[in-house]
Structure 1
């Protein structure tokens, strides 16, 4: 018999899959808890714990008297990340701090993902790589799926705190990423590094995945810092 914590994680993963497949629309009210508990075939207690977990990572929002709503990924950290982003790209010391924080967080995401990933996690990560490959000439679409790759790694880590921090860090870079891919040769290099990270996670080689991620982050962070220096 599955433990309640396992059931809760199963519901969370099933819900995220349904979101990805378009069953629920961003910004719209979700069906009733009774409907959801029947749909996922769990008790109301388990369903509520799963919704609480989804709320903790910013996927859903509770409105008293109105119900539960699915939050758009662009809005999950909008208020915080807006101030955060403007602060970062106007101060070299703040940017260095964020660069160092991202290195630590992304390394841990990779390490934990290699230990804890499920087959569903692997499918999601691989799908982002396939989307990147399909959009090689399109900088904006490539960048979108690049960021989704990193978000998928955070989800696979099964660490809610790391997931929220990852979203915050990624949103601070979001508008700058497409420009980075206009540098000749970069887009192909990034794609291959993502493939290498995925392979390490699939083979449960956490240290290899972490080391590849460290190398993967070096060039974009160097470019961002050089850009900020040139604006002074």
Structure 2
């Protein structure tokens, strides 16, 4: 991350400017593409860059290295608590969804799976489909209080979504995990839905940034 920011300073890049393609930037910085990809994900989570499929990384603003490192430290400390909150809320939501879902709910859940599958097939990470899936599960649970709590932590959940789907091979595994949750909900099996959601939360919490802390 420090090297990327130093590159931004050196090239005098400003908001709206594109960073070089990953392969080119990795060569210039002398790092592997995997290492670069993780650093770019972290910068995206912190809002320094915006990454869109087909256009690459675009600089949102040019911060100081000290500011980014401080924000990264805060983000790293916050991640376990976000995962804890998701586990507490979304496992219960999945269980309730299995008990209360309607045909319209099932339709929305399946449509979200299709969106995510198409995004992945197009070479993207499936962020929108992932968001739609969890929103559909929350809606199917028919709990206004839990829905408000999920809305309250939505910005923090976005951090874990970007962090998780930025891991190599994670979008495909996450989609498969979503399908397992869906099967349990369609079957009306609240226990299986809760178990599948807990396994999903454990999957998405397996991120490089937290491994570095172990």
Contact 2:125 2:165 in 1 (8 A): no
Contact 2:164 2:206 in 1 (8 A): no
Give the deviation of 1:88 after TM superposition: 9.8
Instruction: Measure the CA separation in 1 of the matches of 2:125 and 2:75.
Output: 28
- 2:80 matched to 1:104? no
Contact 2:79 2:160 in 1 (8 A): no
Select which of 170, 180, 202 maps to 1:186: 170
Within 5 Å, give how 1:74-223 maps onto structure 2.
90=74, 94-138=78-122, 142-175=126-159, 177-223=161-207
Give the deviation of 1:135 after TM superposition: 1.1
Instruction: Measure the CA separation in 1 of the matches of 2:163 and 2:122.
Output: 11
Give the deviation of 1:87 after TM superposition: 8.6
1:92/1:139 CA distance change after superposition, 3 Å: same
Output the TM-score relative to the length of structure 1.
0.55
Instruction: Measure the CA separation in 1 of the matches of 2:117 and 2:139.
Output: 21
Contact 2:96 2:141 in 1 (8 A): yes
1:177/1:96 CA distance change after superposition, 3 Å: closer
Output the TM-score relative to the length of structure 2.
0.59
Contact 2:109 2:137 in 1 (8 A): yes
**Structure 1: where are the runs of 5+ without partners?**
1-85
Give the deviation of 1:219 after TM superposition: 2.7
SS in structure 2 of the partner of residue 188 of structure 1: helix
Q: Which moved more, 1:193-202 or 1:138-147?
A: 138-147
Give the deviation of 1:93 after TM superposition: 5.1
Instruction: Measure the CA separation in 2 of the matches of 1:99 and 1:225.
Output: 13
Instruction: Measure the CA separation in 2 of the matches of 1:192 and 1:172.
Output: 23
Per-residue CA distance 1:93-114 (angstroms, 9 max, x = gap): 5432222111010001000000
Report the count of equivalent residues. 145
1:138/1:171 CA distance change after superposition, 3 Å: farther
Instruction: Measure the CA separation in 2 of the matches of 1:89 and 1:193.
Output: 29
